Structure 1
């Protein structure tokens, strides 16, 4: 993307007090237990009743990395194709490429069980702020504070899990000013029902990504089972029919992470150091996978899901970096922070908050000191391999399982163990040749960043080059075999420790220094930021009251706004696209990739109502993680699925404006029309719409 596309977005941000943390226009990713009901009533005449809110909450599900919702009394769940693609890909083979060719089960017996898909359905929310914050006593240093808080969180989660038999997680809100316990119903028997071809789900490919108008049928359908029978959810979304410009809509989903409450010093660190480093890593992997994918169709199939995710992240983070590099944007942030700090200074009860801004700056300095080891060793940027992460999980499982729950790493607390075990035992396809390509790319990058004389690098490479070492590690390992991973788990810590698998040995070599980097990060960076931001957030809450919403945390949120057009280059961009526009764009681009159409779409052209709405845009506040979120109307009926942002929305991570930023969704009417007339899935339509 070029700066000429993003420049209008920067100007839009400069005109708003986007740093305030106070809701502007329809800004806000609101907690389900703290909705702005007064604002909704005054602005839209909408009464968000407890019944309406609870029904919507219980209808939603969380996917790994995305969102979805129940849409039938027989356990059907709908989400984006790109959210489900990892699991569709796991079911694919060289003979049956469901990503390329699509999939449609004609009967329930034909539905395909996903080997490694867990869905979480939120059941309840409880405020546990007092208990968590009360665990940190006056005079504790950063390390003691972090340890006490994490021990209390682990304990709260285990107590709740033992009592309810649900998956229980403590969610940090307002960067530590509040803590809520979220309890989820966990579903692990999830089966693929229907997925269109990726070519229509992601029509236009990378050139159209984050642009508008769009023509993407970005959806897929799963069914949830328990005891080998479809679940019968008490709450599911009924199908909507009509939607037009200016209609009020809502999005219920799991936005991943925003940084809107960050201080200027923190944003400068992101701009100058953190985001450029992530982009460099993504670009290197993208080049490696692109090159390998081009060698054969099978290579391309195996790498497609990884490559799609990397390209999407690269483009999104590029847009975010350009936002942070905008003088207009940063000037607006600085102006707000100056005004906010002056209000704090004038308030006797808030004066002590001023020191928190200094603490954030100090945390960023500490982050800079540890970031190489933390990113490369703890986050695994130096070991980009699914097999290595299996090894890391096994090694840490063996070390953590014998500790009291309160003392464990949070990843291995009792509430997280079922997910860890299921992930290790899942019979997912792992391709050693692809693993070698990724691992050698990341080892080479690590070599470049630390130099040939780094003691740990020398130990890891064991006298070989990164290319040679990556091949030896992967080819000598059995961790691509699910049965072997299961055998190690069932054998317990001693069997894991006794294994001489080269990737397990590598994980042991790296683990001591990785844990040291993690401890430094958690105490000197994360804990310092948590304490500082909790004070800043408390001041914002004191000054803004109910108009302040917390940054996104991949927990369930509600946003609202109208279906709306926008202006670009002096021209109105209509909010809806239609099937007719899809075929026109296909023809204008000579029917060539990435604007080619699947054969069945060409054959079905004359059957379709070409005036059917395809995609639409709205002012809904959103971010990554909202993908697959249901868009519902006032009656709580599903009218679409959010799948993207336009180019102006790439700045929503750090600020909000509704001038040109738009959420892009696939229209529910397009889903029904295509299921009936392209895929012949009338039974599926009947189940969802009746």
Structure 2
């Protein structure tokens, strides 16, 4: 990209909102954004986007599970989301004898729909600004940590006020780097059932190789249904429940899109740091992303080798591997994109301008005079410690599974009632052990412990390293053999027997608990040393955000993503990733035929699917040229959490489901770069084609409000 274009993009990302940038709160949508939306082709009534008293579009877009988005598409509670969002539920319902991951699933009627135990769907009820109610009770003299504790205490009291029944979920959410607060209310439904899931050869076509990449040919969709009680209210699972009737249902369009068409996403983006300082960005790249890449890469190599050799292990680890790999590759792409876009130098120019602005007034000096120096020292002085902390978290918290089981035991109340004990076991262990392979964990442990020892100074090694040195000659594989041979935590049956008879002292003597307690001690040590730096970072970033907004008071700022419902508007279009290369804005099923490889775990496609595609009979789902479009690009502003978000045309009709970003967009959590950043969505016509013509579930199509063609 030309230098002037880069400067404009950086300027817009950090100061103003023009073009198609922004993750907007529908409740705070301003006239400038509405005018821009209409200019791009938006025709839907603005007052029907968000309304807390009458049905509106916000009522159709849901939190799916704990970290995805979905959309209501029928008056019988059908929810469209991504395959990878439903992946965990599909995996839990799968076994070797009914492998829904490999073969897909279709419920022929509602009676055959499979309850997805533990899965929730949340519908937004309202958002209320409670900044004054909170900040009026927070003295300005408090330290940053004291301030956060006071806000947490006040938030807890407010949540108790708003959570009026077991199915109303309230969150107090900070905005603008904790300068503003909302209470957000949801209706949480706990009876959710699987209706349709494509085979992974469709829903996960391309695997990790194609993840974050374009061109893409992935049918990343799944279909669930929300159930309610007879009065259409949220309820726990019951055979007496009936399909939920949403307040608003999104029509599904068969018209498709062309280059330059309006595209809008509504969803729940998880987290961005668009206003982070240059020092914070540098620490993210060097002390978080790099160690995460190394540790997860080592673990995933071991997992992948086992998964490709054994179907049982593949099913057990499919969801865990996908989750780990996603942010492993994201970290690599983010560092590359931030470097290529020269984000750090441009942030430094912004900070220099802010510094001069602060100097220009005694009042500003009194308020922000130490803000930049506080940020610089906090991040610079803690760089190494943050690096070691990331290695610690990735190795011991996220890497070695047995440690997590042992840590969970510490929360077990041996003196509780039998009912409480059983509930604890059901909630914390049954599913975890179902998806656990001790022999695989035994391979991971020595690899990761050795890597940690090589990368982190000895003073930050847990005490267990001394035991490995003294009793096993520093041989981590010998230690792993001994641990897994002698721990009773490697088997659910043995653990349950131990919990029946053992006291706390007996539990702590188990080798797995010994390892967990040793790592916990070092975790406390690292977090304790980081605490003073965290406090400076929190205060510095909050003041930095406030100063930016004050410096450019006539500009419009949007808040960073925080897993609240947001709208992004833009257009359909391709992009130029590098010199002499142009990517078109859509792919077709021809690419599936070109990429498919028999027997390949990422590109194998069942013959019946290939035959359907080769026939060219795409019926009403084909484009005007008779082609089956698979994926489409738009320049909407999204991030993790937006997976499953509806992509809507100017009439607020469903044209796709967002499921990924392109490699060049992986700086997006820190910088929106409109020339390169693209959302990859599955064309809704491909979703309907797969459901109807390939999977034979035309009854699902019959429930939809299909428009166009």
Q: 1:327 to 1:676 in 2, by over 3 A?
A: closer
**Residues in 2 aligned to 1:378 and 1:83: alpha-carbon distance in whole angstroms:** 24
Q: 1:36 to 1:345 in 2, by over 3 A?
A: farther
Q: How many Å apart are 1:497 and its aligned residue?
A: 8.4
Match for 1:658 among 667, 674, 686? 674
CA contact (8 A) 1:248 1:561 kept: yes
Match for 2:399 among 384, 392, 403? 384
Task: Provide the secondary structure at the position in 1 that maps to 2:177.
Answer: helix
Q: 1:472 to 1:151 in 2, by over 3 A?
A: farther
What residue is the counterpart of 1:564 in the other structure?
573
Q: How many Å apart are 1:676 and its aligned residue?
A: 1.1
Match for 1:238 among 251, 258, 275? 251
Q: How many Å apart are 1:504 and its aligned residue?
A: 5.0
What residue is the counterpart of 2:282 in the other structure?
268
CA contact (8 A) 1:88 1:98 kept: yes
What residue is the counterpart of 2:657 in the other structure?
641
> Deviation digits for residues 472-508 of structure 1, max 9, x if unmatched?
65663458649978997xx9xx988885565456544
Map 1:296-315; keep pairs closer than 5 Å.
Answer: 296-315=310-329
Match for 2:448 among 434, 442, 446? 442
**Residues in 1 aligned to 2:364 and 2:346: alpha-carbon distance in whole angstroms:** 23
**Residues in 1 aligned to 2:100 and 2:567: alpha-carbon distance in whole angstroms:** 33
**Residues in 1 aligned to 2:704 and 2:633: alpha-carbon distance in whole angstroms:** 23
Match for 1:550 among 543, 559, 572? 559
**Residues in 2 aligned to 1:185 and 1:502: alpha-carbon distance in whole angstroms:** 44
**Residues in 2 aligned to 1:495 and 1:120: alpha-carbon distance in whole angstroms:** 40
Q: How many Å apart are 1:75 and its aligned residue?
A: 1.9
Match for 1:432 among 406, 412, 437? 437
What residue is the counterpart of 2:18 in the other structure?
24
Give the unaligned 5+ runs of structure 1. Answer: 1-7, 402-418
Map 1:388-399; keep pairs closer than 5 Å.
Answer: 388-396=403-411
CA contact (8 A) 1:36 1:546 kept: no
**Residues in 2 aligned to 1:48 and 1:538: alpha-carbon distance in whole angstroms:** 33
Q: How many Å apart are 1:251 and its aligned residue?
A: 0.8
Task: Provide the secondary structure at the position in 1 that maps to 2:173.
Answer: strand
Q: More deviation in 475-484 or 658-667?
A: 475-484
Task: Provide the secondary structure at the position in 1 that maps to 2:50.
Answer: helix
Q: How many Å apart are 1:77 and its aligned residue?
A: 1.5
**Residues in 2 aligned to 1:348 and 1:506: alpha-carbon distance in whole angstroms:** 55
Count of matched residue positions in the alignment of Structure 1 and Structure 2: 658
Task: Provide the secondary structure at the position in 1 that maps to 2:313.
Answer: helix
CA contact (8 A) 1:22 1:544 kept: no
Q: How many Å apart are 1:306 and its aligned residue?
A: 2.9
CA contact (8 A) 2:337 2:664 kept: no
Match for 2:168 among 166, 169, 176? 166
Q: More deviation in 561-570 or 633-642?
A: 561-570
Q: Is it true that 1:681 corresponds to 2:697 in the alignment?
A: yes
Q: 1:481 to 1:72 in 2, by over 3 A?
A: farther
CA contact (8 A) 1:200 1:598 kept: no
> Deviation digits for residues 156-193 of structure 1, max 9, x if unmatched?
33333257852222222222112222222223332221
Q: Is it true that 1:58 corresponds to 2:59 in the alignment?
A: yes
**Residues in 2 aligned to 1:10 and 1:171: alpha-carbon distance in whole angstroms:** 37
Q: How many Å apart are 1:320 and its aligned residue?
A: 0.7
What residue is the counterpart of 2:586 in the other structure?
576
What residue is the counterpart of 2:419 in the other structure?
none
> Deviation digits for residues 228-281 of structure 1, max 9, x if unmatched?
423222233222222322221211112222222111111122233222111112
Q: How many Å apart are 1:671 and its aligned residue?
A: 0.8
Map 1:206-605; keep pairs closer than 5 Å.
Answer: 206-225=208-227, 226=235, 227-228=238-239, 229=241, 230-245=243-258, 246-326=260-340, 328-346=342-360, 349-351=363-365, 352-365=367-380, 367-368=382-383, 370-371=385-386, 374-375=389-390, 381=396, 384-396=399-411, 423-424=427-428, 427=431, 429-433=434-438, 434-450=440-456, 454=461, 456-458=463-465, 463=471, 465-470=475-480, 476-478=487-489, 481=492, 499=507, 503-504=512-513, 506-518=515-527, 520-521=529-530, 523-542=531-550, 543-545=552-554, 547-568=556-577, 569-570=579-580, 572-586=582-596, 594-605=602-613
**Residues in 2 aligned to 1:498 and 1:156: alpha-carbon distance in whole angstroms:** 42
CA contact (8 A) 2:464 2:518 kept: no
Q: How many Å apart are 1:548 and its aligned residue?
A: 0.5
Q: How many Å apart are 1:561 and its aligned residue?
A: 0.6
CA contact (8 A) 1:216 1:615 kept: yes
Task: Provide the secondary structure at the position in 1 that maps to 2:666.
Answer: helix
CA contact (8 A) 2:15 2:548 kept: yes
Task: Provide the secondary structure at the position in 1 that maps to 2:656.
Answer: strand
Task: Provide the secondary structure at the position in 1 that maps to 2:652.
Answer: coil
Q: More deviation in 197-206 or 639-648?
A: 197-206
Q: How many Å apart are 1:572 and its aligned residue?
A: 4.4
Q: Give the aligned CA root-mean-square deviation in angstroms.
A: 3.5
Q: More deviation in 44-53 or 170-179?
A: 44-53
**Residues in 1 aligned to 2:681 and 2:34: alpha-carbon distance in whole angstroms:** 22
Q: 1:132 to 1:49 in 2, by over 3 A?
A: same
Q: 1:166 to 1:349 in 2, by over 3 A?
A: farther
Q: 1:173 to 1:518 in 2, by over 3 A?
A: farther
Q: 1:583 to 1:316 in 2, by over 3 A?
A: same
**Residues in 1 aligned to 2:503 and 2:397: alpha-carbon distance in whole angstroms:** 26
Give the unaligned 5+ runs of structure 2. Answer: 228-234, 417-422, 620-625
Q: How many Å apart are 1:626 and its aligned residue?
A: 1.3
Q: How many Å apart are 1:116 and its aligned residue?
A: 3.3
Task: Provide the secondary structure at the position in 2 that maps to 1:17.
Answer: helix
Q: More deviation in 58-67 or 41-50?
A: 41-50
Q: More deviation in 220-229 or 552-561?
A: 220-229
Q: Is it true that 1:617 corresponds to 2:619 in the alignment?
A: no
Q: How many Å apart are 1:43 and its aligned residue?
A: 5.0
> Deviation digits for residues 44-68 of structure 1, max 9, x if unmatched?
2547634322423222222333221
Which is higher, the Rg of structure 1 or of structure 2?
A: 2
- State the TM-score, normalizing by the size of structure 2: 0.83
Q: More deviation in 111-120 or 547-556?
A: 111-120
